[in-house]
Structure 1
Amino acid sequence: MAAVDDILQNLPIDQLAQQVGADPQEVQQAAQAALPALLGGLQANAQGGGAGSLLEALGQHTDDVDPSQVDPADGQQIASHIFGSNEEQVYSALGGTGASSGLIKKLIPILAPIVLSYLANKVLKGGGGGGMATQQTAPTDSSAQGGPGSLESMLQDVLGGALGGGTAQQTPAPQTQSTGGGILGGILGGLLGGGRR
């Protein structure tokens, strides 16, 4: 859950609320539901030989992201790639967590590039800008020093740590006890075990 917490901490919730035309508290709740789903989808994409493709995508998103500058069409393409044919099911299920599915559909295309940037900072740059625009800059070509095997391992570690029992708000262990975690766990379980490709 550290990744979700890191990203949430750095999200300009008030700015996002204005951007999507919603109350900041609703945006916070929607982001708390959407981020684990995005990370779970990315973890599903990284399995079964997909880590190389995901690392390539991360290499294209090494710059920090200013949410007000996100191209929603690009963000939607990223979300469509992350969730594949499960995209509408994910939106519907996330709507069942208390956040409106309309808000989720507006927010995920903004959050998707932020999540990729966050992962790129963690995996390729070995640091953490949280995916938000900062003053830090680092050369992108220096990221390959560890070799593909170690980058794939780091990617799996970051994604695995992001989902390690933290998708339900107050459930430190498995997600089966919490209704919100159960819904989200079902989504992620479907993505992780569904072999979408």
Structure 2
Amino acid sequence: MAAFDDLLRQVPISQIAQKLGVDDATAEGVVKQALPTLLGRLDRNAQDSQGAESLAHALDGRDTTLADREIDMDEVDTNDGEKIVDRILGEDKDTAIHALAGSSGGGDESLVSKVLPMIAPIVMAYLAKQYMGSKGGLGGVLGSVLGGQQSQGGLGGMLGGLLGGGKN
């Protein structure tokens, strides 16, 4: 869970809240729900050889500078984030957004749909940095970040199961 907490600390909650026009607690709640969903789906995608190869290729070519310093949300490419979210969630994107909105307390699907592309490039930069420095391979990197989140269940586990990636 330390790796998940490390990733969460890198997400500039106050800046996201400001961009969304919400308070920090609302933004943090959505981010805390969305991160396990993205990570769980990446883990699911990496379970087959083609998905693992595709993810490894994406991480190999990813710029890790977002993971190397304090993040300024003005430097996060949300267009790239939208593409990442589309690739990760695929046809389940609307289902995931609906489920996240229902569980984040606000019930605002537009808020969730804005947060996902904001955090996706941060997630990928973080994973790329971990992957490049890892001897445990892709599964080891995802497992270390997901560690505590999968066992805690909650929305990440529920959505993982709903989307086919649950390992509770």
Compute the TM-score of the two structures, normalised by the length of structure 2.
Answer: 0.84
Question: Which residue of structure 2 lines up, in the alignment, with residue 111 of structure 1?
Answer: 119
Alignment of 1:20-169 (within 5 A): 20-49=20-49, 50-65=51-66, 66=71, 67-97=73-103, 98-99=105-106, 100-126=108-134, 153-166=136-149
Q: Structure 1 vs Structure 2: percent identity of aligned residues?
A: 40
Give the CA deviation at 1:3. 3.1
Q: Max radius of gyration: which structure?
A: 1
Query: Cα RMSD between the aligned structures?
Result: 2.0
Compute the TM-score of the two structures, normalised by the length of structure 1.
Answer: 0.72
Partners of 1:79 and 1:187 in 2: how far apart?
A: 15
Q: Which runs of 5+ in 2 are unaligned?
A: none
SS in 2 for 1:47: coil
Greater share of helix: 2
How big is each residue's C-alpha offset from its partner over 1:16-59, in whole Å with a ceiling of 9 and x where there is no partner?
11122221111111110000001011111111111111011112
Give the CA deviation at 1:193. 4.6
Partners of 1:193 and 1:19 in 2: how far apart?
A: 31
Corresponding pairs, count: 158
Is the counterpart of residue 185 in structure 1 residue 151 in structure 2?
no
One-letter amino acid of the structure 1 residue matched with residue 156 of structure 2: L
Spell out structure 1 runs of 4+ moving beyond 3 A. Answer: none
Q: Which runs of 5+ in 1 are unaligned?
A: 127-149, 168-172, 176-180
